[in-house]
Amino acid sequence: MRRTVFVFSLFAGAAGAQGNLSTQGYGFPTGQFSARAAGTGGAVAEIDPWSPLNPSTIGVFSSKVLFFQIEPEYRTVQNGAAKDRTTTSRYPVLFGAAPVGSRWVVSIGASTLLDRTASTVVQSTKLVGTDSVQATTTFTVDGAMNDVRLATAFTPASWIRLGVGAHAITGRSFVSVGDVYGDTTAFSNFTVRRTLSYGGAAASAGVQLISRNFVAAASARTGGTLTVSESDTLLSSGRVPTRFGLSVAYTGIANSAIAFRTSREGWSSLNKLGPGVSASDAWDTSVGADVAGLKLIGQDVAVRAGARTRTLPFAAAGKTVTENSFSGGLGTMFAGGRLITDVGLTRASRDAGLAANERAWILSLGIGVRP
Amino acid sequence: MSGGAGFRLFALAVFTALVAGVGACSDRLDSRGSCPLLCPQEGVPLRDTLIDVVSDTTVLGFPPFGYENYMLLTSRGDTLETRVIVRYDTLFTTYHTSAGDSEVTTLDSAFLRLGLLIDTLRRNPAPVTIEAYDVDTLEGFDTSATVLASLFRKDRFLASRSFAPESLLDSVFIRLPTDSVLGHMLAHTRMRIGLKVVSTKSASVLIESHDAGTGPRLISYASKDTTVPPVANNVFSLTPATPLFLANALGDYVVTVKGGSPPASSLISVGGLPGRRAIINLNIPSYIVDSSSIVRATLLLHQKPNRTIDPKDTVPLSPGAFLINSVVTDPETILGFLSPPGAFGLLEHGLVPSDSGVQGIEIGPLVRTWGLSKPDVNRRSVALRSSEEAEKPGQLDFFSTRAAPALRPKLRITYVPRTNFGVP
């Protein structure tokens, strides 16, 4: 005979939240911005060839390029008197591009769509049968949903660039949850782990229109099926979020751009990926400038600044999280233009109308190489 | 180098250092302060299940004959009476002097030295006398409790010594008659001594056996010269000839001449004298053993009071793992292959024989190992025994699987089932 007699524990349930406003649900959308675009608050993202959003923008490359970006976030979450400072290391953009003939450019790269890296420790009293025990529960998730893009751009004329991209949504999240008990004579500490794998496909297309004083660019991504699985077991499936973005930039100042961008991402298509997922479609709007002309001891330096407002896809405690940020950055080249370096710094403020709020410094370091 | 080139090198070095430094940063992720507001569902559910014990068996006679670490020599009136037998089947007959080795021809004195384990909190209530008898008898009968008990009679009496309770310390010496010891030495015959304790009240003495140390020693002084070392004999048995390994064990041993009883069929018994061990057989579903994390496993036993001997003395009940696979089925044999007390993280539980009610024995560390191998290698059973087996006469009784349903043993197991954790 076997019978279940009692099941209860405080805070029991499926582990899902991560203790931050920004990393609820399947995680934080980094925006897929390059360090250059991040410095302008994302305003130039649709016309920036280093940001893997608009496939038409890679048409600007006249030689092979490699690009790599590091983007740590230093976050402070304040909940009443409690304050947590966390650090998350990210490598959100990596790609290479090469021209094929005089009108075509191809590119392959990967960027972070949703970064899900967080850890929380909760102390509670668990009731097991008639006994209670002090427990310290540690929940850790580490990983990301990535966007691997194979793109090509065609430049039929000097005033227009066209591009298409094929996307594979990949990545894994390593999740673990464990209890450490106060009474180890009767209770044994445990840690259970699982690896969630993501798989999906999408396609994107973009266009860039160039005039003497203005550049307009737009891109869209449409999603196919997106799955979450563990080993060979399918856990859930939804759709890759569709996305539409538009940037308009004034380029009347040489090598400079004053830009406006807005985009909308259909995050709600992720709602079928889990019973607790509460994602909403989100607008992301920014203005910024990338101004050249500053010279420091003979070195050309681009100066950037921008402001951005957006809503994050996943609700915190049922409330939509809004993020407002201000950015700045510098960019320069070395070795005769073969080494491109960009630094961006973003101060983000996230709020959901809850007792907890979140502030973050995001440092973006981009390195482009023309071999 | 121009100023511009120098700046470029400097700027590049700063940028490189920044990239290297930031790239080397490790995550620091703990954000507990925002819980439970932003993490209301952390943790995974624990499930608690009761499983009936499949079967149980109690076997009497542990530790095996001759393998006691400490031999309980006791006299409890009608309830319990034991004797300790020590064998000297060969005796050294030479002693060493500065002039060289000499054959023993006379003895100045002879003693039996007994190492004791004394519980200073539980001294004997009255003076005790330890009596020594010649208990040599025919092979084949020399381990029979009945035969040996009959040899503790006047015509076989060798010696005795009385002790005040507080004078029983770590060792005692009992002077033996030199003519008897010398006779065995000169004749090259074996000497087997039986020990009995006598007191006006219940009395017990724990004697160190050769399994725990040197065991009882026969010490003979062949010379009055104090610089001449004595002839010291350790216990040694030549019988039984087959199997030979038993001979070593029977250098010293305990026989129970009164008291002790076979286990009742409706009880699980642990401890007592002769010692009892029990096998508890379990059948835990594989989805728990193989696919879950076991947080707690508690064997729930309904204790039946046993007020026969030392009812209020705590008996340390120690659960144990079997170190033998399922090919062997004989209960007595498999109970001889147990993990040492405390191994596998299995803790002792101090229980009192006269208690009643449900007792919980934690066996979680053992149950967790069952997911690592199949039942034919790592049997799904747990052994119960006293870690002071044969040293304390108190006996713990529990209702078995043959008792009324409400009294039968059960396993309460708390585990973490496979859940959809990690998916928001």
In the numeric block, which tokens belong to residue B348? Answer: 């002792």
Instruction: From chain B, pick out residues whose CB is under 8 angstroms from the CB of A188.
Output: 294-296, 364-365, 368
Whether residue A48 contacts residue A69, with contact meaning beta carbons closer than 8 Å, is answered with no
What pLDDT shows up at residue A10? 31
Angle formed at CA A40 by CA A35 and CA A44, multiple of 5 degrees:
90
Question: Mind telling me how many Å the CA of A130 is from chain B's nearest CA?
Answer: 11
Instruction: From chain B, pick out residues whose CB is under 8 angstroms from the CB of A83.
Output: 33
Cα distance between residue A258 and residue A249, in whole Å: 5
Cα distance between residue B279 and residue B333, in whole Å: 11
Q: Which of A4, A356, A363 sits opposite B34 (nearest CB)?
A: A356
What pLDDT shows up at residue A12? 31
Question: Mind telling me how many Å the CA of A168 is from chain B's nearest CA?
Answer: 21
Q: Which of B19, B28, B47 sits opposite A87 (nearest CB)?
A: B28
What pLDDT shows up at residue B171? 92
Residue B300 contacts A where some CB pair is shorter than 8 Å: no
Instruction: From chain A, pick out residues whose CB is under 8 angstroms from the CB of B50.
Output: 2-5
Residue with token string 């009443």: A80
In the numeric block, which tokens belong to residue B174? Answer: 């009992």
Q: Does the pLDDT at position A280 exceed 50?
A: yes
pLDDT in tens, A183-208: 888 888 888 888 999 999 999 999 99
Which three-class secondary structure state does DSSP give residue B295?
strand
Which three-class secondary structure state does DSSP give residue B333?
helix
Give the mean model confidence (pLDDT) for residues A211-232: 93
Say what the pTM is: 0.75
The pairing of strands A2-6 and B47-52 is antiparallel
Least confident interval from A41-45, A135-139, B28-32: B28-32
Q: Does the pLDDT at position A335 exceed 90?
A: no
Best A4, A79, A233 member to test B by mutation, with max B CBs in 10 Å, is: A79
Question: Mind telling me how many Å the CA of A211 is from chain B's nearest CA?
Answer: 34
Whether residue B410 contacts residue B400, with contact meaning beta carbons closer than 8 Å, is answered with no
**Closest chain B CA to residue A121:** B32
Whether residue B367 contacts residue B294, with contact meaning beta carbons closer than 8 Å, is answered with yes
Chain-centre distance for alpha carbon A369? 23
**By percentage, how much of chain B surpasses pLDDT 90?**
54
What pLDDT shows up at residue A6? 27
**Cβ neighbours of residue A358 under 8 Å, at least 6 residues apart?**
A20, A21, A22, A75, A76, A77, A78, A348, A349, A350, A351
Q: Taking CB atoms and an 8 Å limit, are B42 and A316 in contact across chains?
A: no
Q: What are phi and psi of A122, to 5 degrees?
A: -125, 130
Instruction: From chain A, pick out residues whose CB is under 8 angstroms from the CB of B423.
Output: 14, 16, 196, 228, 235-236, 273-276
C-alpha distances in angstroms, B110 versus B114, B166, B168, B185, B259? Answer: 13, 24, 20, 12, 33
Best B12, B19, B42 member to test A by mutation, with max A CBs in 10 Å, is: B42
Least confident interval from A174-188, B13-27, B140-154, B227-241: B13-27
Looking at A71-130, which runs of residues are DSSP E strands?
73-79, 82-88, 93-100, 104-115, 118-128
Residue B295 contacts A where some CB pair is shorter than 8 Å: yes
In the numeric block, which tokens belong to residue A278? Answer: 């509460």
CA quadruple B284, B287, B289, B290: dihedral sign:
positive
In the numeric block, which tokens belong to residue A335? Answer: 């070795």
**Closest chain B CA to residue A88:** B27
Question: Mind telling me how many Å the CA of B94 is from chain A's nearest CA?
Answer: 56
Instruction: From chain B, pick out residues whose CB is under 8 angstroms from the CB of A274.
Output: 420, 423-424
Answer with the residue of higher pLDDT: A336 or B251. B251
Instruction: From chain B, pick out residues whose CB is under 8 angstroms from the CB of A337.
Output: none
The pairing of strands B315-320 and B267-271 is unpaired
Buried b (16+ CB within 10 A) or exposed e, A285-316: bbbbbbbbeeeeeeeebbbbbbbbebbbbbbb
Q: How many CB pairs under 8 A join A and B?
A: 259
Q: Taking CB atoms and an 8 Å limit, are B347 and A126 in contact across chains?
A: no
Radius of gyration in angstroms for the set of CA atoms belonging to chain A, rounded to a whole number: 23
Whether residue A84 contacts residue A19, with contact meaning beta carbons closer than 8 Å, is answered with yes
Is residue A246 within a helix (H) or strand (E), and if so which, with residue range? strand A243-250
Residue B101 contacts A where some CB pair is shorter than 8 Å: no
For residue B227, the 8-state DSSP code is T
Q: Taking CB atoms and an 8 Å limit, are A179 and B43 in contact across chains?
A: yes
Instruction: From chain A, pick out residues whose CB is under 8 angstroms from the CB of B293.
Output: 190-192
Neighbours of A87 (CB within 10 A): 13
Q: Which of A188, A277, A314 sits opposite B296 (nearest CB)?
A: A188
Cα distance between residue B272 and residue B62, in whole Å: 9
What pLDDT shows up at residue B291? 83
End-to-end, the C-alpha distance of chain A in Å comes to 72
Interface of B with A in 357-386 (CB under 8 A): 362, 364-365, 368
Q: Which of A122, A277, A297 sits opposite B42 (nearest CB)?
A: A122
Q: Taking CB atoms and an 8 Å limit, are A332 and B11 in contact across chains?
A: yes
**Closest chain A CA to residue B24:** A89
What pLDDT shows up at residue B385? 94
Instruction: From chain B, pick out residues whose CB is under 8 angstroms from the CB of A353.
Output: none
**Cβ neighbours of residue B373 under 8 Å, at least 6 residues apart?**
none
The pairing of strands B315-320 and B293-304 is unpaired
Residue B119 contacts A where some CB pair is shorter than 8 Å: no
Give the mean model confidence (pLDDT) for residues B257-271: 80
Question: Mind telling me how many Å the CA of B413 is from chain A's nearest CA?
Answer: 10
What pLDDT shows up at residue A255? 83
Instruction: From chain A, pick out residues whose CB is under 8 angstroms from the CB of B295.
Output: 128, 179, 181, 187-188, 190
Cα distance between residue B290 and residue B267, in whole Å: 31
Q: Does the pLDDT at position B263 exceed 70?
A: no
Question: Mind telling me how many Å the CA of A251 is from chain B's nearest CA?
Answer: 27
In the numeric block, which tokens belong to residue A361? Answer: 């410094």
Residue with token string 């200073």: B120
pLDDT in tens, B156-189: 999 999 999 999 988 999 999 999 999 999 999 9
Instruction: From chain A, pick out residues whose CB is under 8 angstroms from the CB of B365.
Output: 188
Least confident interval from B123-137, B190-204, B222-236, B256-270: B256-270
Give the mean model confidence (pLDDT) for residues A113-142: 84
In the numeric block, which tokens belong to residue B273? Answer: 């004298």
Residue with token string 């993020």: A323
Q: Taking CB atoms and an 8 Å limit, are B32 and A228 in contact across chains?
A: no
Phi/psi region, residue B390 (left: phi>0; alpha: psi -120 to 50; beta: rest), is left
Cα distance between residue B359 and residue A134, in whole Å: 22
Whether residue A331 contacts residue A301, with contact meaning beta carbons closer than 8 Å, is answered with yes
Instruction: From chain B, pick out residues whose CB is under 8 angstroms from the CB of A117.
Output: 27, 29
Q: Which of A19, A297, A316 sits opposite B35 (nearest CB)?
A: A19
Q: What are phi and psi of B178, to 5 degrees?
A: -65, -35
Q: What are phi and psi of A333, to 5 degrees?
A: -125, 150
What pLDDT shows up at residue B4? 57
For residue A63, the 8-state DSSP code is S
In the numeric block, which tokens belong to residue B391? Answer: 């040293």
* Helix ranges, A9-118 (H): 35-39
**Closest chain A CA to residue B40:** A11
Q: Does the pLDDT at position A36 exceed 80?
A: yes
Q: Which of B23, B32, B295 sits opposite A190 (nearest CB)?
A: B295
Q: What are phi and psi of A300, to 5 degrees?
A: -75, 130
State the burial class of residue B78 (Cβ atoms within 10 Å of its Cβ: 0-12, 13-18, 19+): exposed
Which three-class secondary structure state does DSSP give residue B336?
coil
C-alpha distances in angstroms, A282 versus A243, A315, A323, A338, B250? Answer: 10, 11, 11, 37, 85
C-alpha distances in angstroms, B118 versus B70, B124, B208, B395? Answer: 11, 10, 10, 20
Q: Does the pLDDT at position A71 exceed 80?
A: yes
Residue B332 contacts A where some CB pair is shorter than 8 Å: no
Q: Which of B32, B421, B422 sits opposite A122 (nearest CB)?
A: B32
Q: What is the total residue count of chain A?
A: 371
Instruction: From chain A, pick out residues whose CB is under 8 angstroms from the CB of B421.
Output: 14-16, 175, 177, 192, 194
Q: Taking CB atoms and an 8 Å limit, are A77 and B34 in contact across chains?
A: yes
Q: Taking CB atoms and an 8 Å limit, are A72 and B22 in contact across chains?
A: yes
What pLDDT shows up at residue B41? 54
Question: Mind telling me how many Å the CA of B185 is from chain A's nearest CA?
Answer: 56
Enumerate the β-bridge partners of residue B75: B81, B203
Q: How confident is the model at residue B243 (pLDDT cuts 50, 70, 90)?
A: confident
Q: How confident is the model at residue B422 (pLDDT cuts 50, 70, 90)?
A: confident
Q: Taking CB atoms and an 8 Å limit, are B31 and A89 in contact across chains?
A: no
Instruction: From chain B, pick out residues whose CB is under 8 angstroms from the CB of A271.
Output: none
What pLDDT shows up at residue A9? 32
| Average pLDDT over chain B, rounded to an integer | 87
Which three-class secondary structure state does DSSP give residue A345?
strand
Give the mean model confidence (pLDDT) for residues A65-78: 91
Least confident interval from A286-290, B240-244, B337-341: B240-244
Q: Taking CB atoms and an 8 Å limit, are B365 and A188 in contact across chains?
A: yes
What pLDDT shows up at residue A3? 33
Interface of B with A in 31-50 (CB under 8 A): 31-50
pLDDT in tens, A76-121: 888 888 888 888 888 999 999 999 998 999 999 999 999 988 888 8
Is residue B148 within a helix (H) or strand (E), and if so which, with residue range? helix B145-150
Q: Does the pLDDT at position B19 exceed 70?
A: no
What pLDDT shows up at residue A7? 28
Q: Which of B33, B365, B424 sits opposite A77 (nearest CB)?
A: B33
**Closest chain B CA to residue A315:** B38
Q: Taking CB atoms and an 8 Å limit, are B43 and A139 in contact across chains?
A: yes
What pLDDT shows up at residue A8? 29
